[in-house]
Structure 1
Amino acid sequence: MDVKAIRQLFPILNQEVNGHPLVYLDSSATSQKPLPVIEAVDAYYRHDNSNVHRGVHTLGTRATDKYEGAREKVRRFINASSTAEVIFTRGTTTSINTVAYSYARSNLKAGDEIVITPMEHHSNIIPWQQAAKATGAQLKYLPLQEDGTISLKDVHETITENTKLVAIAHVSNVLGTVNPVKEVAKIAHEHGAVILIDGAQGAPHMKVDVQDIDCDFYAFSGHKMCAPTGIGVLYGKRQHLESMEPVEFGGEMIDFVNLYDSTWKELPWKFEGGTPIIAGAIGLGAAIDFLNDVGMENIADHEHKLAAYALEKLRTIDGISIYGPEERAALVTFNLDDVHPHDTATALDAEGIAVRAGHHCAQPLMKWLNVTATARASFYLYNTEEDIDVLVDGLLKTKEYFGDVF
């Protein structure tokens, strides 16, 4: 994997920030976009811009072919059995909310249980809070181990015959924990429950096979995997999607409309009301082509090495707290003693280093960690060990500055 050559395909990385070469370490928030994706979106608007499915003219046909071609690329990327199981959405949040509204509110009742974990992003907590309030179901949390992982023993003990839905992150956006989703899915199914996996931090970084995992739903966003913002995917097993009602009504998703009643198109289009995110889907297709060309196994191996290197180097800094397990995805969340993470991020930005600071849309997890906020450095296929060295130097300068101030 030639990281130097890969970096040349990301024009945004070739710039200075505050007089320093940009070191972008915030890919868990959003990844940068390579030239093939930028060019694919540009080509659509320059040459093919038209609405899809509706027109019989040449532009409409070309746009439709590219849009539906992108759906087939997604299908192969996650190994769904049919394009009917691939719904285009605005992103992971919309995908999860679609299941929470359409599936959960129709299938849950008082006394049922929804099982999630304290490490979830707010987008995989709040929809289930609302679904529980609407149906009378009970929200239950899997306990976390000291290192921020879950144990299968606790999964067995928490999921019961009353559990009807399990929702869990493939990868924690704060701890980097990679959850054993295949094993959790098996346990959920043994109890008659369905499982949704929040794949926002999974799909960009590792090979995903929804049939092998045997998940009922898998949600992810394009913008974290080199695609444009505003496009995402909801995968759902066909039998579930067939029984679910749409959550948005209007053009495109209808079959017939009468004065007092209407019928819906077949899958996947019954869930894609209105003009879809055409350019975004085409960009997602181009991003998948790009990632496949690099190789998801190569990306995962590269990131595994970066994560190990980052842990090794950051641990040489006195007065740093690092959160999460030893084996993790390509991110490190940390705090410097006596320095607020927002101050840390601001000081690093002065050195051209982009990291995240705050609660990372995971306030229950912050409470579990007994902190109000953290800083996070997250890596992707275009990052190098040299980027991590610059980060370490920036953190040492930050410690020195705040030590002198206080």
Structure 2
Amino acid sequence: MELSQKLEQLIEKSVEKKEIAGANILVIQDGKEKAFAAGGHADIKAGRKYERDTIVRLYSMSKPVTSAAAMLLMERGLLDPGAFVEEFLPGFHNAIVAEGGKLVPAEKPVRICDLLNMTSGLMYGGDITSVCSMETEKLFDRIKEHLYLEDALTTQEIANRLGLIPLQFQPGESFQYGTSADVLGAVIEVISGKSFGEFLKEEFFEPLGMKDTAFYVPQEKQNRLAKVYQRTEDGLKLYTEDHLGIMNAMKQEPAFESGGAGLVSTLDDYAKFASMLMQDGSYQGKQILKTQTVRYMTNGSLMPWQQEVLDQCWEGIRGYTYANLLRIQKDPGKSPLFTSIGEYGWDGWLGAYFCNSPKDGLTMLLTMQLKDAGTTSLTRRLKNVIWSELCGGRQK
């Protein structure tokens, strides 16, 4: 049986079991398409199939793009990873830390490298045991309330307000997945003098031909945007709420262009970005990033004390480290799924998943639109099939 057929069957089984509404997947090896499969619906009520050109909300799979933007500024000498965030965003002046039940001054300022490695002390909301998390939750409630109004908070306004919230720990002392990439997007705005979306469009999306990647979906493309679904006791239900300051409907240009979660894209668009990284920054004769830049971006690592926290809190990425807004495989024997040393990528809240494996010359891209999905069981099963089919001969 062809690989595409195997992948399609796995997707269709998940659709039949009502685990997902629909999904698509693309596999590229050595620059050639090895498999494509799609199944289910992008819109169940309308009977609209999940297609190859279906547009999806990337959520955290936006982060590798934000990382690449920071790398571009680094190679141009415009961004120093050791620089203090407060140099660009005044909200980070005199940062405070929630420590031992008290608020204390930060011993050192948050650095750009802390944003890239999630070692800043910034958090997402949802943790009722953390002052940082609860204050972040309040801020995102404020963002949500004004999302469609004239006074909607902008990328830089939100980043500066995040800087006023107590950090979870002293900068650099631990690891915590959070809003660091949103702050980094604002830093890129300040340095470039352009909106984050404009910078990405000029430097990445237009040169790569990523015509369906942006921070919103124009009216003429809305019929290709997948609906979001959530699992309930009664089966899959439509999910229409805004989340993390991102408009679910994606119908208008947002004031907040979230570097951590805001982009929409398609399989083929993101494949161009992934291929550029796989080819050491080059795509169809255009050098988007320098070779050394890509190698730096995709070979980072946490410090041992930071790695210890990651290992304890995130079982799903055992064997990986985290750096430059990417998971990076360091010890495949610890991983809960087939992988290879040096493989890197990230996923998203609604189930989008991306990985590049330079050792295998392989790129895997998967999209779905399922609330709270992240890396699902289906994702792992699809990846295991792909690795067993295409990567075995290179492991010797």
TM class by smaller structure = under 0.3
The higher radius of gyration belongs to 1
TM-score, normalising length: structure 1:
0.26
TM-score by length of 2: 0.27
Structure with the larger helix share? 1
